[in-house]
Each structure stands twice: as C-alpha cells, then as structure tokens.
Amino acid sequence: MKLFTKIFLQVFVGCLALTLVPLFYLLHESQQQSLLDMQRYEGERFERMQLEFSSAAGLYRETAGIYHVKTEAYQDAALVNAFRRYFRSDSAALYRGGKAVFNLTPYEFSAQAVSGLTGSPADDLTGVQAVGEKRLMLFANQMNTAAGQVEVFYYKDVTELFDRTGSLLVKGLLFAAAMLALTGLVLFCGIRRSLWPLRRLQDATARIAKEEYRSRAPVCGRDEIGELAESFNRMADRIEEHVGRLSRANQSQLELIGSLAHELKTPLTAIIGYAETLLTVRLSEETRNEALLCIRDEGRRLSRLQTKMMELVELYGEDGEAVKLQKIRAAELLERLRDLTAHQLSRRQLRLETVCTPPELVFDLDGDLVMSLLVNLVDNACKASDEGGVITVTADRDGFAVRDHGRGIPASEISRVTEAFYMVDKSRTRRAGGIGLGLALCSRIAKLHGASLVIESEEGVGTCVRMKFGEDGR
C-alpha cells in the first residue's frame, strides 16, 4: 500500500471515529436523559393520582355505608367513578383480582407487570416496553382501597421521543457524511500536495539510479521534506563528484596504460631485434659491441620507465591527507638539491644557481615529494640545455621556480607537456634518456600540495617551470 493511501485512510478513519462516536453518544445520552426526566415527572404524577384515587374510593365507601349499599356492582361503579375522575381514561386501566374493572386503552395488562414496577419510579428505564410499533413507559401498582385490593396501570406513549431521536440520528448521519466527504476531499488534496515533493524526490532517485547523475530534487519549503530534499541533493552532488572523479581516473588509467604499451614497444623491438641478430648473424666485434650497448641502453631505459611508472602510480593512489607536511626551510631544500644534482650537472658541464628570498623562508611541505619534483625539473632543464649553460632555481613566497636557457617549448605544446609519455621532440628526448613522465610526476606532486605547475617557455630562449602555491601560501 502506498504511503499516500496509508496516511489518507488513517486520517480519514480517525475523522470518521471523531465524528460518529460523539454523535451516537450524544444522541443516546440525550434520549436517555429525556426518558429519565419524563419517567420522574410521570411517576410523581402517578403517585399523586393514586393518593387522590384512594381518598376518593374511601369517600365513596363511606357514602355507601350511610345508605347501606354494599353490593359488588355498586363498589365497582364507585371505583370506576373515582378512577375516571383522577386518571385519564385513555392512558390508565383498573384491575381487581386480575380482571379488568375499567380499561379503555388499546392494551391488556397483566399482574406480572405489577410485581416489577411496584413503588416509586427508579432512575432506570425498566418501565419502557415495546408494544408493537409503540414504545410505552408503564407504571403499575397494587393498592388497598375501600373496595379491596386493586391493580392500577398507567402508561405514557414515548414513541414520538424515539422517533424524534431516530430522525435526529438520520440527520446527524447525513450531516456527518457531508462533512466527511468535504473533509476527505480537503485531506486528499492536502496530503497529496504535502507528499508531492516526496514523489519528485522519488523521481530524482530513479533518474540517478539510471545514471543521470545531474538530476536533483526540487526543494519545496523548509519542513522535514525540504530538509530531506536538501540532504538528497548534497548526497547527489557527492555521488556526481565521486563518479566524475572515478571516470576521470579510469580514463587517465586507460590513457596511461595505452601510452605505456606504446612506449614499451620501441625499446622491446630494439632489444628483440638486436638479440635475434646476435643469435643468427656472425658480426664483427665492433658491430657486436654496438648491438650489446644498444640492448643495454634500452634495458636501462625500460628500468627507468618502470621506476617512473611506479612513482606515478603511487602518487595517483595518494590523496591530500596522505601527504606528510612539515615545516622545511627552503634554503636547506635548495642545498640538498645542489648535492643530489651535482654529478649530473658536472657530467653535462652545466652550472646550477640557487636563490632563496628571504633566506629564512619556510614552507609546509612533504620534503621528499618536493625534492623529487625539483630533481625532475632540473633533469628536464639539463636535457634542454647546451653545454656550459646555467640553470637557476629560486624560492620565494610564491613557491619554487626552475629556469633554463635551452631550446624552449613551442607555445602549442605547452598545454600537453604534463601528460604522461608526451614528448615535444621524441627522438631527441629519447637520446637524452627521457621517457616523458617527469612533468606528469611534477604536476601530480604540486597538486597534492595544493599548488599548480605553471610553465612559461619561448623557443630558443628557454623555459621556466614554477610550483606556485595559492594565496594562503599553504
């Protein structure tokens, strides 16, 4: 059963109970109270009539004694005369010895009724009896008179009271039905309108389940449903963000794997080709040594490729919280850089200059990762520089910068040099020992530090690569 149906039925049944139960209760109590009031009134009247009748019956007996008339017929006539004088003839009956002395009512009475109704009227309604289609309030009593013991019966027709109560019940039910119909319509519209945001929230959920991650639920009002819609939209934002991140990561991995397969092809082809030549062809010692040197160089290149790939995979597996930041003096970091790159610079006959402004400059960094970034940038600068050139590494409040005066990068290629395995001049880069992963590693390291890698270059003039922090200096 739908939530709308459950709420509607529960509220409607509650309204039905609140309407009909008080109606029946009030009508019943009103009827009972009217009958009790009537019973008290008629009971007191019945007692007064009995007293007057008894006195009158005694007077007739005294009169009969004076005139010495003691026949039963005269006594009955005297009782009837006194009875008719004080009782309504159409609502009362007089019996003696179980036989009717006077009864002009349309009903017959029995002595059994007298035993249950003798005495003053009580506060219950045991005297109300159904006689055919009529409802009668019956009063009866046995009494001693001058003519002996008699039974007096008196009734009040209360059928009209029951009919009036039934009529009020029908009218009340019709009015209740009309009110319930109106209330049901108002409830239907109100509950439907209140639950409409839930339906739209359900639709948004269904669309997201169909991978429509941009779907959002409308926020209607500031009630609980509105707060639920806001929470749902925040959850949808996180889902969209997470799915987008996974999609980008998956795409990057696919591109990385494709590039890796392509990069492995060249050295493996060379190694296999030279190995087959050595196995099948008799070569001169010089040619044989050249082949072995080529195999060695390509093998070393594969080793460097494997090392760089492992570093890149590990960095892409990191998140910002995994970076261990420490306060590190920039001058000490540059000094370590000089030591680590001294051999490479000497072999290429290049000179490294470092500048730190101010000298006491301190950053919150992961020292190992930033050192790897600077070493890679210096390595790239070495490959791009001619012998005798100068490479300058500076540190200031904006971050670090590595500048060379080498060949430079074409403007159309700058936006792609941070892609894995992308090389501006592939043949020359390979001859210099490059594999196209250095700047990809540097870009990832900068991102993990909340910084960006900014590349400025001009062909024939040189290149400057900056690790630039945000305004907060991180």
Residues 134 and 243 both lie in one domain:
no
Kindly state whether residues 104 and 74 are assigned to the same domain: yes
> Would you state the pLDDT for residue 307?
67
pLDDT of 311 reads: 61
pLDDT score at 69: 46
Indicate whether 99 and 236 sit together in one domain. no
Number of domains in the chain: 3
**Domain assignment present for 376:** yes
- Asked whether residue 327 falls in the same domain as residue 260, the answer is no
> What is the Cα–Cα distance from 257 to 301, expressed in whole angstroms?
17
Q: What is the pLDDT of residue 392?
A: 93
CATH number for the domain spanning 62: value is: 3.30.450
| Same domain membership, residue 345 and residue 259 | no
Same domain as 70, residue 115: yes
What pLDDT, on the 0 to 100 scale, is given for residue 78?
Answer: 75
* 197 within some domain: no
Last residue within a domain, chosen from 133, 152, 169: 169
Q: How far is the C-alpha of 71 from the C-alpha of 189, rounded, in Å?
A: 86
Among candidate residues 286, 317, 348, the one where a domain is terminated: 317
Q: Which one of 169, 203, 222 terminates a domain?
A: 169
Judge whether 50 lies within some domain.
Answer: yes
Same domain? For 363 and 450 the reply is: yes
In 67-158, which residue ranges form alpha helices assigned H by DSSP?
72-86, 111-117
Distances (CA, A) of 15 to 8, 22, 469: 10, 11, 67
Q: What is the CATH number of the domain that holds 218?
A: 1.10.287.130
- On whether both 97 and 132 belong to a single domain, the answer is yes
Considering the domain architecture, whether residues 381 and 431 belong to the same structural domain is answered as yes
Q: Is residue 195 part of a domain?
A: no
237: containing domain: 213-317
Which parts of the chain sit beneath pLDDT 50?
Answer: 64, 66-69, 114, 116-125, 320, 423-436, 472-474
pLDDT in tens, 416-426: 676 655 544 44
Instruction: Round to whole Å and give the CA distance between 99 and 148.
Output: 13
- State residue 355's pLDDT score: 92
Decide if 246 is inside a domain: yes
Q: Does some domain include residue 205?
A: no
Tokens for 75, please give them: 């006594």
For residue 277, being part of any structural domain is answered with yes
Q: Is residue 239 part of a domain?
A: yes
Instruction: Clarify whether residues 301 and 327 are in a common domain.
Output: no
CA neighbor of 83 nearest in space, from 117, 112, 115, 60? 60
Q: Are residues 96 and 135 in the same domain?
A: yes
Do 43 and 138 fall into the same domain? yes
CATH number for the domain spanning 427: value is 3.30.565.10
